Amino acid sequence: MHVLQEVLFIIVLLVAVGLFARKIREISRNIRLGKDEPLKGDKARRWKNLFFYALGQKKLFRYPVVGILHFFIYVGFIIINLEILEIVLDGILGTHRLFAPLLGGLYPILINAFEVLAVLVLVSCVIFLIRRNVLRVKRLNTSDLKGWPREDANIILVTEIVLMTLFLTLNACDTLLQQRGYGHYATYLTGNFWISSHIQSLLGGLSSPILEGLERGCWWLHIIGVLAFLNYLPYSKHFHIILGFPNTFYAPLDPPGEMENMPAVQQEVKYVFQPELAPAGATPPSRFGAKDIFDLSRHQLLMAYSCTECGRCSAACPANQTGKKLSPRKIMMDTRDRMEEVGAIIKAKGSFEDDGRTLLHNYITPEELRACTTCNACVQECPVSISPLSIILELRRALVMEESNAPAEWNAMFSNIENNFAPWKFSPEDRGRWAEGV
Ligand code: SF4
Ligand code: SF4
């Protein structure tokens, strides 16, 4: 490879990796805006969850066809990236197909496997595009996905198709040039590959210099496409490719139906009834529940960045399915958007300055929060172990306990519980009257 190409490649690589690292730092800072909570439970169970739910994609296989297609894209994405290692090393060292002489007979076997995967990825992406845009699967075409989120999914699918096509064309040009004994291509022989050999008949009429130009063009476009894809990921729902793993690991291990107690409330009640227990100078908690992202836990913020926007949660949500305003997918998307908004302020001003906006009200309305039945269907359905319910509960707690913002019927029930220790408006002294004369 010409030395100028080598220098250019190294510059492109450094810029791409540098930009990616900068965005990752920003996202990590945004997640750390949340409250740091101790990790509870057995680590071995966490690793097991990571293995089955993130690596093994267990929940996706509940819908076998979609599960298998998604698995092809996922495995293809991971394994074909091994081939990127050769491209990157070739780019830096100025070599061409560095691994061919090193791996000998194993090399064509690997490339053949990559080509088969490339075709499977290609076919899966085309089917997913058809599902989204032609068959218009309902959960992928609801109003909470309007605009950018819908484009985002299409952009990624089309990019994958382009990358796989470039990979196959590159191989076809390369092997044709080897067969013709052209230039440095003649110094190694990989033999024909299973899939790209079928493209050769389309390219066979081209002259060798044009084929070389096409091979170089595909090589550059492929690696620039991969680096662009890398930098696009953190802005896209496809960031779940990376964050799905830590998110599954950190997911709570408690039974999903077990509602988490609020120690701050328990403590306040305890101090009211037994003031002597309150330590000197004890101050009440700054807030009950969550009004903004700062009140949520780091794991809840990580969940928002890990959401794939697949909509399985909303499709299973009884509130959403009966026409209420609530969409658990939107809860996660709103949380992420608010984090990005806060992150942009920190980036511009060096630290967060109150912008008069909060996750509660400016993004998520009381109407949405009140529609939740706490049934846990969204948690059960989520393929990457996200709990929209945990965020809904925290916001609803702030709504009720901080703002006393609840429908009149709820307020009547709250005051009955406070005064009568039961939801009904009967005095506790009368509780046993039903048994009179029995
Ligand atoms: S817990 Fe709430 S948001 Fe989740 S599915 Fe049930 S009603 Fe919908
Ligand atoms: S929360 Fe889970 S189920 Fe809902 S859209 Fe996100 S990834 Fe899909």
Q: What is the pLDDT of residues 145-194, one digit of tens each?
A: 888 888 899 999 999 999 999 999 999 999 899 888 888 887 776 777 88
> What tokens were used for 113?
């496997």
Q: Which of 258, 314, 326 to mutate to test the pocket of ligand 1 (most atoms within 8 A of CB)?
A: 326
- Assess whether pLDDT exceeds 60 at residue 365: yes
Residue 313, ligand 2, Cβ within 6 A: yes
Angular region, 309: left φ>0, alpha ψ -120 to 50, beta rest: left
Residue 380, ligand 1, Cβ within 6 A: no
| Ligand 2 centroid distance, CA of 398 (Å) | 24
* Reported confidence tier of residue 328, pLDDT bands at 50, 70, 90: very high
Q: What is the mean pLDDT of residues 130-149?
A: 89
Which single residue is written with the structure tokens 């120690």? Answer: 263
Q: For the chain, how long is the longest CA-to-CA vector?
A: 107
User: What pLDDT, in 10s, does the model give residues 288-305?
Assistant: 899 999 999 999 999 999
Residue 391, ligand 1, Cβ within 6 A: no
Q: Tell me which of 90-94, 214-218, 292-296 is least confident.
A: 90-94
| Ligand 2 centroid distance, CA of 42 (Å) | 25
Residue 326, ligand 2, Cβ within 6 A: no
| Ligand 2 centroid distance, CA of 5 (Å) | 43
The ligand that comes nearest to the alpha carbon of residue 312 is 2
Which single residue is written with the structure tokens 């506790």? Answer: 428
pTM of the model: 0.87
Quote the pLDDT of residue 426.
86
Quote the pLDDT of residue 1.
57
Asked whether the beta carbons of 177 and 185 are under 8 A apart, the reply is yes
Q: Which atom of ligand 2 is nearest to the CA of 303?
A: 1
Cα Rg, the chain, nearest whole Å: 28
Q: What is the mean pLDDT of residues 310-324?
A: 95
Q: Which percentage of the chain shows pLDDT scores above 90?
A: 57
180 residue type, one letter:
R
Quote the pLDDT of residue 212.
93
Q: Which atom of ligand 1 is nearest to the CA of 320?
A: 8
Q: Tell me which of 34-38, 243-247, 430-434 is least confident.
A: 430-434
Quote the pLDDT of residue 234.
94
Instruction: Give the closest residue (by CA) to ligand 2 atom 6.
Output: 307
Quote the pLDDT of residue 189.
66
Q: How many CB atoms are located within 10 Å of the residue 296 CB?
A: 26
* Reported confidence tier of residue 356, pLDDT bands at 50, 70, 90: very high
Q: What is the mean pLDDT of residues 336-343?
A: 97
Phi, psi values for residue 262, rounded to 5°: -110, 100
* Reported confidence tier of residue 105, pLDDT bands at 50, 70, 90: confident
Q: What is the mean pLDDT of residues 53-59?
A: 87
Phi, psi values for residue 335, rounded to 5°: -65, -40
Quote the pLDDT of residue 58.
86
Buried/exposed code over 139-177 (b: 16+ C-beta within 10 A; e: otherwise): bbebebbeeebbebbeebbebbbbbbbbbbbbbbbbbbb
Which single residue is written with the structure tokens 């009429």? Answer: 205
Taking the C-alpha atoms of residue 397 and residue 404, their distance in angstroms, rounded to an integer, is 10
| Ligand 2 centroid distance, CA of 150 (Å) | 15
Beta-carbon contacts of 190 under 8 Å, excluding residues fewer than 6 positions away, are 97, 100, 107, 108, 111, 174, 175, 178
Q: Which atom of ligand 2 is nearest to the CA of 308?
A: 7
Cα first-last separation, the chain: 98
Asked whether the beta carbons of 214 and 206 are under 8 A apart, the reply is yes
Residue 316, ligand 2, Cβ within 6 A: no
* Reported confidence tier of residue 100, pLDDT bands at 50, 70, 90: confident
Q: Which atom of ligand 2 is nearest to the CA of 310?
A: 8
Q: What is the mean pLDDT of residues 279-292?
A: 83
> What tokens were used for 65?
């066809």
* Reported confidence tier of residue 315, pLDDT bands at 50, 70, 90: very high
- Assess whether pLDDT exceeds 90 at residue 251: yes
Please state which CATH number belongs to domain 250-406: 1.10.1060
Mean pLDDT (the chain) is: 90
Q: What is the mean pLDDT of residues 101-123?
A: 89
The ligand that comes nearest to the alpha carbon of residue 396 is 1
Which has more pLDDT, 421 or 369?
369
Which has more pLDDT, 42 or 336?
336
Beta-carbon contacts of 61 under 8 Å, excluding residues fewer than 6 positions away, are 67, 68, 71
